[in-house]
Structure 1
Amino acid sequence: MKLKISHYTHYTYVEPVRYSVNEIRLTPQTDSRQFCYEHSIVVNPDVSLFSYEDFFTNKVHSFSVSEPHQELLIKAESIVHTDEKEHYQGRPLPLSTEKKILRSNTFQNYFAEYLIGTAYARITPELITYVNSIVDLDSSGGIFLLLKDISARIFWDFIYDPQATDVHTTVEETLQLKRGVCQDFAHLMIAMCRAKGIPARYVSGYHFIGDLQGGHADYEQASHAWVEAYIPNKGWVGYDPTNNGMVNWRYVKIGHGRDYRDIVPVKGVYTGLAAQTLMVEVDVKILED
């Protein structure tokens, strides 16, 4: 499927700021599931962009604005072809083999950064109690099915509420509130996977839902977050606990990291005392081939 993504980020400052340094991760990846064949980024005020790959192989653009400015506008547009095939299909390894692999030192050392707790996804006693009370690897019958169980339980046990949390909410707070948004549910699932010894990483991107909203219905779109977990003999498999589903052609991946901090779409600092207002607009639509 061919999808067009438009992502506009607009900062407005009460008074002109003198200098800003910024870093953006808004470039869709090209991998076995998707192909980004058109991408552009425009910044106003007009500046030069410097690009590189970070530690997690995400495409990063950085820039600085040295002249006084009261507005900063970043326009990122992409056309991505997503694969409709389900890459996670196939015969799984026997459960005994999966458990042996998870417990091996070689496996744990290789995936160490995706097995430890982070600031957003700490593996606390409360988290361990919760995950152990709802899922079990032996009864699930395998890692793939266990992950589906975890995703489903988050979907049913937690309420989607954009007003309940903010960008700094941690897993501990989500467990207490029993509500949140895609970022919170992704962090929760990541912590639950890691508590079970399964490598998991945070994914940032977009989710096309246009045809689920009555065609041209009036609805607000936004960036989306989900989880990729590593399954022996299958590789990284995408799960979306917010929608209780597997990642398919509707999803466009920007990048991944240990948690949200590694893949913030737009971040920066500026010199000045002025307060700022942020407005973000996202549009994802299908293009005819």
Structure 2
Amino acid sequence: MLLSISHATTYFYRQPVLFGPHRMFVRAIEGHDVQIRESGLRVTPSARIRWLHDIFGNSLAIAEFSQPAQTLEIHSSLMVEQFNTNPFDFVLDDLAVSLPFSYADFEAIDVALYNTVRHPADTDAVRRWIRPFLSAKGTARTLDFFTALNKSVPLFFNYARREEPGVQAPGETLNRRSGSCRDFALLFMEAARQLGVAARFVSGYLCRPADSAASVVAEDATHAWAELYLPGAGWKGFDPTSGTLAADLHVRTAVAREPTHANPISGSFSGRGDDYLRMDVKVDARAIPAAGG
């Protein structure tokens, strides 16, 4: 399946300002499941752009500016081919079939930073949320549990698009019963970590199907979801905003241990605090109809 993604972000300022370095995660993560066919990145005012792999292996573009401007425009384009058409095409190792489970010794040291609870103040609230999905003894079939928990979010929480940076703490999302895709991803991650399961944050896009005129939750925006490391399956994507497993319409641009490490675009400027006016984000992410379709 071919997917086309156009992502334009424009920052407006009251007067010309000088920009500090800007970090951009706008290139798809390639692998056996996703391959890039075309890509482009345009930045105005002109900037020196260099690429590197960050500590998580993501392709990171860094733009460095030499001239001030009153607007900053960043436009990326992608054409990718997606092969992950069946997200359930895996078999869990015997040790991971039921919760709770322990990782094998050779993996335990590597997942230790990913299955540690990061919001201890919200532990009780998260436990109350996941309790109905567990047996009286606190056990469950691993895939059944996470699939049901994932599906429950769009049923009992309200999605609220938010372009501003920052993520709600899991307890706040539970209290509000609403949040952005970033908030739901973090809540899901924290639930997994409380059960000792390694979880990480994913930034990317959710594309519209080619054969449907219906709207897609979180469409026309950057998107975020969670990945869990399940022995036998590897890192598997769970999208609590849509209630689905990440599959052929999801495109990853960054993975990280915490949301703050995977902001699609981040940077700074030199000027007065009130020089910044607003930000506009336009995303068009869609599947391309098959030839003759």
Shift of residue 206, structure 1, vs aligned partner: 0.8
8 Å Cα contact 2:181/2:225 also seen in 1:
yes
SS of the counterpart of 2:228? strand
C-alpha spacing 1:101/1:107, structure 2 compared with 1 (3 Å): farther
Instruction: Pick which of 182-191 and 208-217 moved more.
Output: 208-217
Residues in 2 aligned to 1:190 and 1:137: alpha-carbon distance in whole angstroms: 22
Residues in 2 aligned to 1:213 and 1:87: alpha-carbon distance in whole angstroms: 20
CA RMSD of aligned residues (A): 2.8
Matched with 2:174 is 175
8 Å Cα contact 1:44/1:72 also seen in 2:
yes
Shift of residue 56, structure 1, vs aligned partner: 0.6
Q: Please say if 1:10 is aligned against 2:10.
A: yes
Matched with 1:195 is 194
SS of the counterpart of 2:221? coil
C-alpha spacing 1:234/1:69, structure 2 compared with 1 (3 Å): same
Query: What is the letter of the counterpart of residue 167 of structure 1?
Result: G
Shift of residue 137, structure 1, vs aligned partner: 10
Shift of residue 105, structure 1, vs aligned partner: 5.5
Matched with 2:159 is 160
SS of the counterpart of 1:49? strand
Shift of residue 68, structure 1, vs aligned partner: 1.6
Identity %: 23
Matched with 2:284 is 283
Q: Please say if 1:250 is aligned against 2:266.
A: no
Residues in 2 aligned to 1:166 and 1:178: alpha-carbon distance in whole angstroms: 20
Instruction: Pick which of 196-205 and 148-157 moved more.
Output: 148-157
C-alpha spacing 1:159/1:135, structure 2 compared with 1 (3 Å): farther
Residues in 1 aligned to 2:166 and 2:96: alpha-carbon distance in whole angstroms: 39
Instruction: Pick which of 133-142 and 200-209 moved more.
Output: 133-142
Query: What is the letter of the counterpart of residue 192 of structure 2?
Result: C
Shift of residue 100, structure 1, vs aligned partner: 8.0
Query: What is the letter of the counterpart of residue 283 of structure 2?
Result: V
- Output one character per residue of 1:105-163: Cα deviation in whole Å (capped at 9) or x when no partner: 654322012112336x9752222232234335988753222210220222322122337
Shift of residue 186, structure 1, vs aligned partner: 0.7
Q: Which runs of 5+ in 2 are unaligned?
A: none
- Output one character per residue of 1:154-174: Cα deviation in whole Å (capped at 9) or x when no partner: 2322122337x9733221210
Shift of residue 20, structure 1, vs aligned partner: 2.3
C-alpha spacing 1:107/1:44, structure 2 compared with 1 (3 Å): same
Question: How many corresponding residue pairs?
Answer: 286
C-alpha spacing 1:283/1:136, structure 2 compared with 1 (3 Å): farther
Matched with 2:265 is 266
Q: Structure 2 matches for 1:142-153, cutoff 5 A?
A: 142-153=141-152
SS of the counterpart of 1:282? strand
SS of the counterpart of 1:113? coil
- Output one character per residue of 1:62-110: Cα deviation in whole Å (capped at 9) or x when no partner: 1221212111111100110001432532443336776685265654322
Residues in 2 aligned to 1:206 and 1:136: alpha-carbon distance in whole angstroms: 35
Residues in 2 aligned to 1:29 and 1:278: alpha-carbon distance in whole angstroms: 26
Scaled by the length of structure 2, the TM-score of the pair is 0.87
Residues in 2 aligned to 1:243 and 1:231: alpha-carbon distance in whole angstroms: 21
Query: What is the letter of the counterpart of residue 237 of structure 1?
Result: K
Matched with 1:236 is 235
Query: What is the letter of the counterpart of residue 94 of structure 2?
Result: P
Matched with 1:59 is 59
Shift of residue 215, structure 1, vs aligned partner: 6.7
Q: Structure 2 matches for 1:202-217, cutoff 5 A?
A: 202-211=201-210, 214=213
Q: Structure 2 matches for 1:134-145, cutoff 5 A?
A: 134-136=133-135, 141-145=140-144
Query: What is the letter of the counterpart of residue 117 of structure 1?
Result: V
